[in-house]
Amino acid sequence: MVLRVLLILTIVFGFVFVPVNVIQQVWTLALAEVAMMAYAFVILGLLASGLPPRRATWAFLLPFLVVLLLALATAANISVFVWVLLIPLLSHRLLGRRDGSIVGLSFLGLAAALMLVRFGFVPSVAQAAEAMDVLLCATALFVISLAHETEIVRVNRKLRARADLDGLTHLANRRRFRELFEQARYAAQQGVPSAARQVSLILMDLDYFKRVNDRYGHDIGDIVLEAVSRRLLAQCRQSDVLGRVGGEELAILLFDLDHADAMRQAERLRCTISATPVLARDHVISLTLSLGVATFRLAECSFEQIFAETDARLYQAKRDGRNRTHGEPVTSAARAARIEPAAREAQRSRGYEMP
């Protein structure tokens, strides 16, 4: 939006400044302004055709700043320096905090140098005061604009964290968990040298967690879930992704581990939770985990595929008595036993029973 406004203003203001510079016989600047008007039309057309805004910004902003520097150097009136005030805000809004600061500071430095060259290093007191007013005001605007951009970055990061993280455990939520899987899968499919080639998914469910909520209340249940999440996170590698994908259901993505290593890691996690009860206020609560583990070639599996397979193995661990890890493929009958209750519940919610 800011770029489009700048392009339109360049065209509109060109119809004012070009005749003025022609009348004052500043031919070089007049021709440069005509060229920028035409270039602004071109960039507007490219944007409409799908040119990425970031590329369009760089493509237009750098020539725009060159023409503005030419104006500072050749315009007949000293008042042209007032346009320096625009650059700090414009560069930050178009380029962001880092690139905008680099471009803005570079331009202010060049503008200051042009001022000294234009006045032959010995301007009159009035001229120096006018120019310094412009440059100091531009510097103040740069600092204010930088502070504003920094605050925007901070707020955006906070909002992104809220969107990506589970509010209770501060682990990746289901959306973010899937997003990270898809990013790793895309890198593997593109053959990125540093990309993982294999992925294991561990799906975990706290056994009888509903009883904890029913007996002690949801506040205690939340404390327990936070404590379990911290323990699991402490056992993860830096490259692992731990997320909360359901009420009491947690999941871990492990990259470039074979299935045997993934099973050993799952067993470590299970023992970590069962070995030490959780202290929640005045309550000592013993917990166990049921876990399902599946391993796939990362480039060849979808999120739905690996999640469904691991979920079937988790359910098999529960059928086998809970507090255990299941990492073997399950039978078709076991899969049907996993799916049928959910299907029956869906049918009941619609007001009729399955046969």
Active site members: 248
Instruction: Report whether 310 contacts 205 (CB < 8 A).
Output: no
Q: Write the DSSP symbol of residue 299.
A: G
CB within 8 A of 47, min separation 6: which ones?
3, 4, 53, 56
What are the start-end ranges of the H helices in 49-124? Answer: 53-74, 86-118
How many CA atoms does the CB half-sphere of 286 hold within 13 Å? 4
Give ∠ CA 297-298-304 in degrees, rounded to 5: 105
For tokens 């996170």, name the residue: 233
Q: Which of 292, 289, 293 is nearest to 323 (CA)?
A: 289
What is the rounded CA–CA span in Å between residue 106 and residue 98?
Answer: 12
Mode of pairing for the β-strands spanning 325-326 and 289-297: parallel
For tokens 């502070």, name the residue: 147
Q: How many helices (H) and strands (E) does the chain have?
A: 11, 7
For tokens 């650059």, name the residue: 87
The two structure tokens encoding residue 20? 């003025």
3-state secondary structure of 284: strand
Instruction: Report whether 4 contacts 44 (CB < 8 A).
Output: yes
